[in-house]
Amino acid sequence: MGRVRIKKEAKDYLQNSIYFLNTKDKYQDFTKKSNKIWLEIGHGKGKFISKLALNNLDAKLIGIEKIATIQEKAVKKVEKLELTNVRFILADINNLKNWFTDSSIEKIFINFPDPWPKKKHYKRRLLTKELLLYYYQILEEEGRIFIKTDQRELFDYVLINLKTKELKQKFFISEKTVDLHQLTDEKIIKTEYEEKFLDLEKPIYYLEISKNKL
């Protein structure tokens, strides 16, 4: 089976799933009346979003992922759990700028984003200044972003972005650690990548930033 065929099959699967949001109207319909809208951007195979949804049935969770074959795996996980509070959008976050209403999102989770180590590729990162400003715009007043990475360089890149003149008055760091699992990891919902890095005994860098001082 060729890659194109696999991709087409994944897209067909998603299109036929009740968990799939392919229009802004469907997104608005799903999230209306909710003041707890949470996004996971680049959710990968879905271990984190499915557990988070299961533990927070009063929140509406939206998974955003740009690769259909990966999103299909996440959708299958929530189908198995028969969750009603989670939906998925197949897209690059950069193409969803007109989807989310300003000040409407309570939490954004970005777990192990691709590091794009070469400078000429920094613009593809999920934590560029431009995207952080966009997240600021859509977050509600008490809104927060939760970031995990195994990459020290990416972690420092975010901290530097947060200190720039465009962002320094906007976000406050409410939690910052260079070894998330050092003390206790019982309550931490782990992603597929996180489990891989923990097996390799790599430290996990963690950052929680809020739109207003909590």
Q: How many positions of this chain bind ligand SAM (CB under 6 A)?
A: 21
Does the protein bind ligand SAM through residue 50 (CB under 6 A)? no
Closest CA to 114 of 159, 154, 160: 154
177 or 212: CB nearest ligand SAM: 177
From the list 12, 29, 114, 156, the catalytic residue is 114
* CB of residue 141 to ligand SAM, shortest distance in Å: 25
What part of residues 69-108 is at the interface with ligand SAM (CB under 6 A)? 70, 92-94
Distance (Å, rounded) from C-alpha 142 to C-alpha 214? 7
**Distance from C-alpha of 13 to C-alpha of 30, rounded to nearest angstrom:** 20
Q: Which is nearer to ligand SAM, 56 or 212 (CB)?
A: 56
Q: Does the footprint of ligand SAM cover residue 64 (CB under 6 A)?
A: yes
Look at residues 108, 123, 103 and name the one whose alpha carbon lies nearest to residue 42: 108
Query: Measured from the CB atom, is 198 or 212 closer to ligand SAM?
Result: 198
Q: Is 28 exposed, middle or buried (0-12, 13-18, 19+ CB in 10 A)?
A: middle
| Residue 58 among the catalytic residues | no
| Residue entry with tokens 């995207």 | 131
